[in-house]
Structure 1
């Protein structure tokens, strides 16, 4: 995927499976996990980061997502 790609890519072999995946997305029935590449040493006791995300659209139309400072 190039850097301008955003969102998830779903692939299904059968139409019924694709419909089920779409329904799960609409109904918030999926858990989303994100991987991050970090610089430096990751603290071994930190296994996951849970933070609310804030979606923004810039004047150029570019979409960005960042951690919400408000929680």
Structure 2
């Protein structure tokens, strides 16, 4: 009986939907692509940004009182 034209081989085939084949059997030493950079319109969240968000929900007197308490806790 003749052999069919299709053969089974252990060489992985790389296709867009088969990216695991490259990681599983490749010895080419390629590094994965770096992740895309963050969009520039994103505002970094810093302690000052968080403080301003919470401060905007308090009155001036409440903010002054909390600021004094925080200062004296830090100073002691």
Normalising TM by the smaller chain, what interval?
under 0.3
Q: Which has a greater percent of strand?
A: 1
Higher RCO (C-alpha 8 Å, min separation 6): 1
Q: Which has a greater percent of helix?
A: 2
